[in-house]
Amino acid sequence: MIGLLLACGQTELSRGSSNIIQGSPTVIIGAGIGGLVSAVLLATRGMKVTVLEKESRPGGKVRQLEVDGTPIDAGPTVFTMRSVIDAIFESAGERSEDHIRLHQADRLARHAWGPEDRLDLYADADRSMEAIGEFAGAKAAAGFRNFTKEAKRIFEILDTPFLHNSKTYPPGLMWRIGLWRVKALIDIRPYESLWKVLKEHFDDPRLLQLFGRYTTYCGSSPFQTPATLMLIAHVEAQGVWAIEGGMSALATALEKLAKSQGVVFRYDTPVARIDVHKQSVTAVELASGERIATEKIIFNGDPAALASGLLGDDVTPAVRKVPVAARSLSALVWLANCKTSGFPLDHHNVFFSPDYPREFQEIRAGSPPSAPTAYVCALDRGTGQTHELGRERLQVIVNAPANGDHHIYSTEERETCTSNMLARLSACGLELENPLPHRLVTPSEFATLFPATGGALYGRASHGWAASFLRPGSRTAIRGLYCAGGATHPGAGVPMAALSGRQASEALLSDHISTRWFHRRDIAGGISTRSVMTNATG
């Protein structure tokens, strides 16, 4: 369902020399977050693991690009569900705080519709309710209270049967929830749009925008997604953290952890094809012509690349091809190192469009929005960092159609999009240095970086009640080939990509390793089905 799978505990397989799986290594294609997590977890169980990455560094979508010699985060910026990452480090006998430095946010985000039209949401729900009451009145505050209750209710219904579990289909989900719990099946509201249900809680159009925007976290429109997705708001309310050094620091830490477990990384090593014999994988062939024999592969890339034959015709049946119309959103991303004035930026800031329906109509028609909602991450705020000469590093994101495989943004169009974005910020009181030193990444660049996607950043859009069941799971139709990453179950976002890596590793172990080869021992967390939110720290 947007893929907010929460980690359950586990039993670790001991790592003595007698536990090493001899023979060909497990090959992980892609060093994104899902691939890094898979590598760590498989290596802690004694498996030989080789990670092949076409880029020169780890991270996948978690990456940095330079603007005037300054590295700026160009990927995900919102970090929630900290205990998901904590559990990965614990699996290797480490503590996350010894590898990354996290700062929990008191303020979740700052929102603006005009120079004086602002609303902050806080980690403290009572404080948020008070702020909403001051912003839009007592009725809006009561609506927020009821909304948060319903979001929590949906989360709790789906926590164990869907969010903790592997991919399933509607009958399986009904069985997991319990056929006798008819009310619970109704309460998750899969057949009603989020926008419609939000109107039951809020009259103020600004609050409809604010809480509808959560669907963009999984690259979807609030007008087409099921109301079930309101649980995203509940997840964020459990805590948001900033990482010193940005998300890239997390990728680096996971790579270091994997190497400490014996994982071999090969960068600048693109894969040309995956060989299959009798519906089972047999080898990976590199672009260089080198061939690596293996019976176990985790593909940490968008499954569209498999379905489109970019890794050979043998693996096209592995997963379903996503229709172009079902792609998630792409984005226009500006990276800037500049001076700011006028608006009191926080770490996370949202500057809303004056016409939200029109914004998504234009995207659906294949055009970037003319008056867009702009998200601004002030990367140096909230992390204890400072920057030189009054400048600060910004990442600005505007939603865009995933048509980068057949539409190239001309210089004129790029300038128009930049002008529209700056106009929205200015209308809300934020002025950026002029001329703006920046680098703009368009859906065209994303389509090149993530082939066969058109620049879609989240896989399949979560439009309609069935969308979550159509997202690929860990297992594919080909034996020995597994998927991990934000385009697979449980979905997009750093913690969810990490959880997809966990699921892929567990599926691979279940299918290929007899547990009698191992001596089990319990680790922190043991075998548990509790929500990671229950165990959240900070």
Its pTM stands at 0.88
Task: Return the higher-pLDDT residue of 182 and 535.
Answer: 182
Predicted confidence band of residue 514 (pLDDT cuts 50, 70, 90): very low
Residue 116 has pLDDT above 60, yes or no: yes
Could you give the percent of the chain with pLDDT greater than 90?
74
Residue 518 has pLDDT above 80, yes or no: no
| Range in 11-25, 213-227, 237-251, 415-429 the model is least confident about | 11-25
* CATH superfamily entry for domain 12-102+246-324+458-521: FAD/NAD(P)-binding domain (3.50.50.60)
**Mean pLDDT, residues 438-447 taken together:** 97
Per residue in 285-339, pLDDT (tens digit) is 999 999 999 999 999 999 999 999 999 999 999 999 999 999 999 999 999 999 9
DSSP-derived secondary structure for 67-125: ETTEEEE-S---EE-HHHHHHHHHHTT--GGGT--EEE-SEEEEEEEETTEEEEEESSH
Task: Return the higher-pLDDT residue of 229 and 208.
Answer: 208
Query: Which pair of structure tokens corresponds to residue 463?
Result: 């439009």
Calpha distance 277→474 (Å, rounded): 20
Per residue in 6-26, pLDDT (tens digit) is 333 333 333 333 333 345 899
Instruction: Look up tokens 């279940």; give the residue.
Output: 510
**Residue 15, pLDDT score:** 32
Calpha distance 281→292 (Å, rounded): 11
**Residue 192, pLDDT score:** 87
Residue 167 has pLDDT above 90, yes or no: no
**Mean pLDDT, residues 397-402 taken together:** 98
What is each CA distance from 305 to 230, 300, 412, 452, in whole angstroms?
30, 11, 31, 5
